[in-house]
Amino acid sequence: MFDIIEPMAPQPVGHHPTEGSAPPKWCTCTRCREMPTEAERVCCGKSRERCVSILPDFNVLVLDEAVLALARLYRNDVLVLNEEVDLMKANRHQGYRQFILWQHGWLGTGNHRVIPGCCVWRIRDGYPDPFGQYKEFVPGRLA
């Protein structure tokens, strides 16, 4: 019988390969890490020195806290949403949105694109989930 007074230790879940691990075979830039689904196994396709995840614009548009805060404020105001309580999660999700806007422009509701693994992990490293639990890519209605 289990003890109902003492909570069980959390089991490790999620997908979080360590930084510096060998790049997967599908990666060209050598900065990607393994992704949990086939759909997410996408690289930027550049060389190591020209990887999208290390461009100065990426740092400003996708990772900068002030830019993310302003983008969240605007999005929440336009869509009449409440601010996310978990700031790391809010910044991570806004970083994903910022990347898509920067690379593809406004796609519209239900039109989703996969973010290259190198960029996903730069965002996740900047704004990590304390338990390493990240949502997989959800294809949109148009995929």
Q: What is the mean pLDDT of residues 59-88?
A: 86
pLDDT in tens, 7-60: 444 444 455 566 667 889 999 999 999 998 999 999 999 999 999 999 999 999
Distance, in Å, from the CA atom of 126 to the CA atom of 59, rounded to the nearest integer, reads: 10
The whole-number pLDDT of residue 3 equals 47
Q: What is the mean pLDDT of residues 81-108?
A: 89
Percent of the chain predicted with pLDDT > 90:
56
**What confidence tier does 1 reach under pLDDT thresholds 50, 70, 90?**
very low
Question: What are the start-end ranges of the H helices in the chain?
Answer: 56-58, 65-79, 87-104, 117-126
**Residue 142 clears pLDDT 80, i.e. is over it:** no
Which of 12-16, 64-68, 87-91, 134-138 has the lowest average pLDDT? 12-16
The whole-number pLDDT of residue 77 equals 73
